[in-house]
């Protein structure tokens, strides 16, 4: 299992950050590997909601994954897990008021040990994923703070 934890201070209110981050359709704006996304279940976003993301992984542009929301506490946290597939992914977003902004923490666990059995391969894969997450969260910060490069 590969684990990563990312924290970013975003100079926007918790309500604004939460609303943007948990909206599945917004992920295409800040997660570099996601080319399409949206909620697929009926009703309001909450525990049990399912959303779809189309990933660009290893040069493939059509790797479809579905995720289910397992925790939904407005302006506090949202957790999800992948539905089906051989590569499990789960994550938790935590939102904390911090000064005039929001401290966003993301904890992720991905992949069964049997798919990446070699310790060195796990370390390399984990570092690559971490670098991508750091870049993605830097993009998220720029978008929410209204900054352009």
Per-residue pLDDT of the chain (149 residues; tens, 9 = 90+): 788 899 999 999 999 999 999 999 999 999 988 989 999 999 999 999 999 999 886 666 678 899 999 999 999 999 999 998 777 889 999 999 999 899 999 999 887 655 555 555 556 666 778 888 999 999 999 999 997 54
Judge contact between 106 and 86, C-beta under 8 A: no
pLDDT at 121: 58
pLDDT at 56: 80
Report how far Cα 120 is from the mean position of its chain's Cα atoms.
Answer: 25
C-alpha count within 13 angstroms, C-beta hemisphere, residue 80: 24
CATH number of 2-144: 3.30.530.20
Domain boundaries, the chain: 2-144
Judge contact between 91 and 106, C-beta under 8 A: yes
pLDDT at 106: 96
């Amino acid at each position: 299992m590969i684990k990563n934890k990312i924290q970013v201070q975003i100079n926007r209110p918790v309500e604004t950050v939460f609303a943007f981050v948990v909206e599945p359709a917004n992920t295409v704006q800040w997660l570099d590997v996601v080319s399409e996304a949206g909620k697929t279940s009926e009703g309001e976003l909450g525990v049990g909601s399912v959303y779809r993301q189309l990933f660009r992984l290893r040069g493939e542009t059509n790797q479809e994954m579905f995720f289910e929301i397992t925790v939904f506490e407005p302006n506090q946290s949202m957790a999800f897990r992948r539905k089906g597939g051989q590569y499990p992914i789960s994550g938790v977003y935590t939102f904390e008021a911090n000064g005039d902004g929001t401290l966003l923490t993301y904890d992720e666990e991905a992949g069964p040990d049997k798919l990446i059995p070699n310790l060195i391969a796990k370390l390399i894969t984990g570092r690559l994923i971490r670098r991508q997450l750091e870049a993605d969260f830097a993009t998220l910060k720029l978008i929410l703070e209204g900054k352009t490069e």
